[in-house]
Amino acid sequence: MKIICRCEDITENDIVRAIREGYNDMESLKRVTGFGTGPCQGKGCVLAVMKILARETNKNTAELRPITARTPLDPVYMGVFVVDRKH
């Protein structure tokens, strides 16, 4: 069992099964499996899922549409990302 999305505990088998059920684009795969919806918002799994989808549909990853990026639910002040180097 190969974990593809560590945040949401989605395996390669989950992805392949969904593709074979007809969910053969990134957005519908995301909706049906939940990959990319964890705390990292897909940074750890989107590329791996794209490669699986490309392999299973005999396409190049460049032919696939990426998932839609969502903005944070609550606004985040830019100061949150500033590193205080004095400490």
Give the separation between CA 8 and CA 41, rounded to whole angstroms: 10
Q: Is 52 in the site for ligand FES (CB under 6 A)?
A: no
**In which residue are the tokens 């639910």 written?**
73
Q: Is 42 in the site for ligand FES (CB under 6 A)?
A: yes
Q: At closest approach, how far in Å is the CB of 34 from ligand FES?
A: 8
When the beta carbons of 44 and 56 are compared against ligand FES, the nearer one is 44
Taking the CA atoms of 66, 71, 73 and 76 in sequence, report the sign of the dihedral they define: positive
Q: At closest approach, how far in Å is the CB of 39 from ligand FES?
A: 6
Q: What is the DSSP string of 15-30?
A: HHHHHHTT--SHHHHH
By the criterion CB under 6 A, which residues form the site for ligand FES?
Answer: 5-8, 35-36, 38, 40, 42, 44-45
